[in-house]
Structure 1
């Protein structure tokens, strides 16, 4: 079996040249081309006057013409796009040294001014390839110069001064080689260090950009006029509902939401002022913005941090529930005992045969309001006993049909024929919510929807729709009824505890529903879409992001 032998090429000889070396080699080749043109042009001006000054004029002419042709050919192939390798550069320098010494040999010898061109070639070689090869350039040039001098002394009886000049040139060759090698190595190390630091800075900048883009805190950079210069994905999601980069073209001049704009103008007049939490649109969570100067010296840009108040709200809810639990534990017994006594006394009184029709109406009022007070106590107790949400990933297309089926089966009387219509979009992201608490919220919203639809139309109906937010990463559920709607004057109060427009209601249903949503980092809002009835939307948190 044949075994391939490893390549015996000199290490580093066939390595591709670096971009800087390629650039310098192109400049050097232009210099070679100009020199070869001048050598040939000076000779062609008046060849007869040079015959006495050249030892071998024909050979000199041939060498100069060949040198010009070679340099022109190399210039053309470089212009065509050829990338010279390290081997090409080394061969070019060696060829220059040999050709110039050939011209020296065929002209007047080492005393000719062409010898100075050898120093330039040796220097260029040590700049282009600062390694041991550079020393070889100097050695080859020194040997060639000494060889020409010795030949001239032996054959042409030249002066010993030629040998001294050749030795001096050799010293210059090695001095140029060693000094330029040292300088080139220092420059290469500096360039490598600068390149490494630039690469590290670029990587660090990329990491910082990824961190900023993935932060759940919104970050904006504004100018002093309030125009947005930079915004990360969280800021676009919190302030505008969806990142511009993934769903629609980047707008050249995005305007701040009015509430944030007012806060920014107020902060510009008084930097010590803290703006109130705001909602940029009805379905967004409550946000808090903080401003600071990005550059204190120039004061041209303002850095804005936009935070979702969900975590703060959760902490406030825990404190509120702890206080509510202590309150309800203290008053539940004091209220329910007399309430039970009132209800029991009303039942006993109802059994009396001597009651008039007016008395029965009074007893009915007592029973109805006793049940209402008991319902309020039950709701408050449920709220105070509520456990910490154990969120799950809910697959809405599978969960909602089961909920609708179970909900319709639990309806009694006239509501047994209630119409609950369910629609949903395709490719819904999962909803992150505690399943039992989500069911409680949906039951509350559906009960309200059926009740108000019956008041307005005479039949029980509600529509449920599950869709995807504009950013395509979160889902929502709309519960819409056919009721009379909510007057504008009451829209800001519907989620307050004990507020109700129904005489038989407790005013805690929507309040409890919003509390449950906020404990699951979701948001319950009333949509104002211009359609009849009411539409409540539950916007779920991102399934993969936790606050």
Structure 2
């Protein structure tokens, strides 16, 4: 915790990457200053030629020192121009060399009274800015000792005035004052920059977390302008609005446009912001959606935030609650229903063995047997709803799995007529994550229905299994197509409702159970509307990397 206190010393190791880059930039500026000063000192040698008089103690040493100082600074400038990044040790060595060189020039010239002594203050100040630590105090101490040593030597060896010692002491005070003041300022600047950098990093991390949360949300989120152009869309919005619509002919990188129902809803909402638009379907294969609009900027209203909810989940939850209650009721009375139902079925079987029955009686017994079987099927299906287990998902190669399912399902068709199950798969099908046993249960239901209706319509047990990828190429789908009479437009919205059936021998729960199992695996079962004969049901699987 000491490093966080205002008076805690800062070492080079405590500087962050940003502070280190700023330190390197300041050192470049300081080296440019030294290069200018050394050029001026060398220029003065030619502009005002010196003579060996009392002004300089050792003219030759002074001239050699000035030229050497220029050469050192020029070399450092060239190395930095070539891309050399100075480290802390290079900066420390340069400051020490600067102080010693300046005092050497003072010793070779007229002593501490020379104007070069003021340049030492600049060097000490630069050292404390570049190294705001104990090393900065060492720079001041070294400069003060050198100044006092030069003045003391001059007073003792060559009998110069002792006033130079007082001037050297004053310069030492200036050195330490500059060191302490600039160290405090530099510490505050570094801490402020570190705090700003830390807060900026926290903001970036929060933005990344928020982005991940938004992308992982199951609620679709869109940001639109007033003209309906999409500025931002999370993964759920892409999946709900565009993922289920498969158009192999559409370019995969074409700009996204709002579905027409949502576009109409936006237009209506802009005219009347308090109005709630009706639920809609983005396409024939997408679930029922509900959109809610709000303005991001209440004053300007340039951007509009849209929340898209999957209404089918709400409807399914309500239906599931009803069926769960019905399932518990059925579980309680199943024994009471099955006992008399079994007695009725057994009695009907015994009566069928009687030789005295005419054709009308046998037809009546067939009706009893058939409807007893139907009632028992309804009980079994409702019980399945109440005791359905959670999905045990795994990553599946859709092409390989579908080929295995085709082979195994075809072997189970032993009703005397060989089933013709055609298989068609695309080239690039992404993997899907689902529970094999549950999705295979859905496929068996769809295939059985398809074979039965194809047989009724064409006289052939024929269906087609089709696998491919959605338009974005990221999700797999499987179609089951039959060649039966199809479903009328009036009944298309009701085929997945519980207990709805057009078959007198059906229970009306098969497709509902199939959709429930798909939803448990985050897949979507839909009826494709097209001009092809028969029905085409599609299972669109979720993105394998976005399932939660």
The TM tier, using the shorter chain, reads 0.7 to 0.9
For residue 160 of structure 1, the aligned residue among 159, 162, 179 is 162
Shift of 1:168: 1.1
Shift of 1:203: 2.4
For residue 275 of structure 1, the aligned residue among 263, 277, 286 is 277
CA distance in 2, matches of 1:83, 1:298: 49
Q: Does the 8 A contact of 1:389 with 1:520 survive in 2?
A: no
For residue 213 of structure 1, the aligned residue among 208, 212, 215 is 215
1:412 is aligned to: 415
1:37 is aligned to: 39
1:482 is aligned to: 483
CA distance in 2, matches of 1:107, 1:384: 107
Q: Does 1:71 align with 2:73?
A: yes
Q: Does 1:526 align with 2:527?
A: yes
| TM-score (structure 1 length as normaliser) | 0.80
SS in 1 for 2:526: strand
CA distance in 2, matches of 1:35, 1:296: 59
Could you say if the C-alpha distance between residues 250 and 48 of structure 1 is closer, same or farther in structure 2, counting changes exceeding 3 Å? farther
Could you say if the C-alpha distance between residues 364 and 226 of structure 1 is closer, same or farther in structure 2, counting changes exceeding 3 Å? farther
Shift of 1:127: 0.7
Shift of 1:367: 6.5
Alpha-carbon displacement from aligned partner over 1:334-379 (angstroms, at most 9, x marks no partner): xx99xx79x97xx89x9889x8xxxx6x778866766776566455
CA distance in 1, matches of 2:44, 2:475: 81
1:122 is aligned to: 124
For residue 21 of structure 2, the aligned residue among 19, 22, 27 is 19
Shift of 1:431: 5.3
CA distance in 2, matches of 1:184, 1:270: 59
Alpha-carbon displacement from aligned partner over 1:422-463 (angstroms, at most 9, x marks no partner): 45568764553583x655543442233223323443322112
For residue 238 of structure 1, the aligned residue among 237, 240, 246 is 240
Shift of 1:184: 1.4
Shift of 1:79: 0.4
CA distance in 2, matches of 1:104, 1:242: 84
1:59 is aligned to: 61
CA distance in 2, matches of 1:125, 1:543: 58
Alpha-carbon displacement from aligned partner over 1:459-518 (angstroms, at most 9, x marks no partner): 221122344545666543321122344454553444456766667767665455445544
In the alignment, structure 1 segments of 5+ residues that lack a partner are 1-10
SS in 2 for 1:417: coil
Shift of 1:63: 1.5
Q: Does 1:389 align with 2:391?
A: no
For residue 81 of structure 1, the aligned residue among 80, 83, 86 is 83
For residue 91 of structure 1, the aligned residue among 86, 90, 93 is 93
1:266 is aligned to: 268
The answer to which of 317-326 and 222-231 deviates more is 317-326
Shift of 1:263: 2.7
Alpha-carbon displacement from aligned partner over 1:253-312 (angstroms, at most 9, x marks no partner): 421222222333333333333333333223333333333333445433233333334542
2:295 is aligned to: 293
Alpha-carbon displacement from aligned partner over 1:42-99 (angstroms, at most 9, x marks no partner): 2311315896643333322222111111111110011011111212111211221122
2:450 is aligned to: 449
SS in 1 for 2:174: helix
CA distance in 2, matches of 1:438, 1:69: 81
Task: Tell me the matched-pair count.
Answer: 518
Could you say if the C-alpha distance between residues 53 and 307 of structure 1 is closer, same or farther in structure 2, counting changes exceeding 3 Å? same
CA distance in 2, matches of 1:418, 1:484: 18
Could you say if the C-alpha distance between residues 130 and 215 of structure 1 is closer, same or farther in structure 2, counting changes exceeding 3 Å? same
Considering only aligned residues, what root-mean-square deviation do their CA atoms show, in Å?
Answer: 4.1
Alpha-carbon displacement from aligned partner over 1:377-404 (angstroms, at most 9, x marks no partner): 4554344333342223476645874676
CA distance in 2, matches of 1:249, 1:211: 29
The answer to which of 420-429 and 174-183 deviates more is 420-429
Shift of 1:170: 1.2
Q: Does the 8 A contact of 1:276 with 1:288 survive in 2?
A: yes
CA distance in 1, matches of 2:48, 2:545: 87
Could you say if the C-alpha distance between residues 324 and 276 of structure 1 is closer, same or farther in structure 2, counting changes exceeding 3 Å? farther
2:203 is aligned to: 201
1:459 is aligned to: 460
Could you say if the C-alpha distance between residues 198 and 121 of structure 1 is closer, same or farther in structure 2, counting changes exceeding 3 Å? same
Could you say if the C-alpha distance between residues 485 and 75 of structure 1 is closer, same or farther in structure 2, counting changes exceeding 3 Å? same
